[in-house]
Amino acid sequence: MTHGNKLSDKPIPVRERLIFALDVPTVNEARALVEALGDAVQFYKLGLQIFMAGGYYELIDWLTASRKKVFVDLKFFDVPETVKSAVAQLRGRGVSFTTVHGNEGILRAAVDAGSGLQILAVTVLTSLDRGDLNDLGFDCNVEDLVLSRARRALAIGCSGVISSGLEAERLRDELGDRFLVVSPGIRPVDNTVADDQKRTVDVEEAFRKGADYIVVGRPIRNAPNPREKAEEIQARIASLFGSETGK
């Protein structure tokens, strides 16, 4: 890859590179939104909010039966044996990705339990900046911490990492392209809405810096017409990759 443009050449269907964060209060609202989005979205991330609503497994089964891909984003963080048992519960449900947050023992337990499930290690949440890291006691910059955590996760056997697009370029420069980078915190270039995301990039920047997938939530969910907004983002992705193979 050439410096400055690290566009993914993995054989990922173009329309699966957009992952929509299905963050709504109830499963009924989730299903209604999925139906409204139709074929504009093929890949869904299910996080803590919808997990706490009840019916999480039923929603996973409904999505996979609808031929959608599922990303379980629960950021498992506990003693290794508990994480291992939790990840094992996802086997056989057609889930593509799940997230784990923690030290080497926790990540290794998740990888051991995955059995085909792709484990993504959380590096640094996109809601955190340098000031937040200082508060947490980390005496380093964000990029260095992301790189350190990513290097460790890949050595253990994780399939990839969750990383802001801001750090994706350095990950590619130093660790190569044989792992997945999933980038949340995607916002429009002219974003003026105050929210909890601090380290953000736009669609094109994330992919040009090396992301394989982007996660988009509020910009689609809060749009006047979510399906139209999703299709707009899909068109922007297609203009970058230009084929249905992702090459």
Which member of 75, 198, 229, 247 is catalytic? 75
Residue with the bigger pLDDT between 116 and 59: it is 59
Share of the chain above pLDDT 90, in %: 70
Extract the tokens encoding 211.
Answer: 């992301």
167: confidence class by pLDDT, cuts 50, 70, 90: confident
Ramachandran angles phi, psi of 171, nearest 5°: -60, -45
Single out the residue of 191, 184, 212 nearest to residue 12, CA to CA.
212
Instruction: Look at residue 190 and tell me whether its pLDDT is greater than 80.
Output: no
Q: Show the CA angle centred on residue 78, arms to residues 72 and 82, nearest 5°.
A: 80
Amino acid at 8: S
Q: How confident is the model at residue 147, as a pLDDT?
A: 87
Q: How confident is the model at residue 83, as a pLDDT?
A: 96
Alpha helices in the chain (DSSP H): 27-37, 48-52, 56-65, 80-88, 104-114, 130-136, 142-156, 165-175, 203-208, 218-221, 226-241
Measured CA to CA, the distance from residue 72 to residue 94 in angstroms comes to 11
| Mean pLDDT across 25-54 | 97
Q: Show the CA angle centred on residue 3, arms to residues 204 and 101, nearest 5°.
A: 65
Measured CA to CA, the distance from residue 130 to residue 29 in angstroms comes to 36
1: confidence class by pLDDT, cuts 50, 70, 90: very low
Which helix (H) or strand (E) segment is 18 a member of? Answer: strand 18-21
Q: Which domains does the chain have, with CATH numbers?
A: 14-241 (3.20.20.70)
| Mean pLDDT across 26-55 | 97
Tens of pLDDT, residue by residue over 5-30, are 889 999 999 999 999 999 999 999 99
Tens of pLDDT, residue by residue over 71-103, are 999 999 899 999 999 999 999 999 999 999 988
Instruction: Look at residue 41 and tell me whether its pLDDT is greater than 90.
Output: yes
Q: Please count the residues of the chain.
A: 247
Which helix (H) or strand (E) segment is 181 a member of? Answer: strand 180-183
Is 6 annotated as catalytic? no
Tens of pLDDT, residue by residue over 56-75, are 999 999 999 999 999 999 99
pTM: 0.87
Residue with the bigger pLDDT between 179 and 190: it is 179
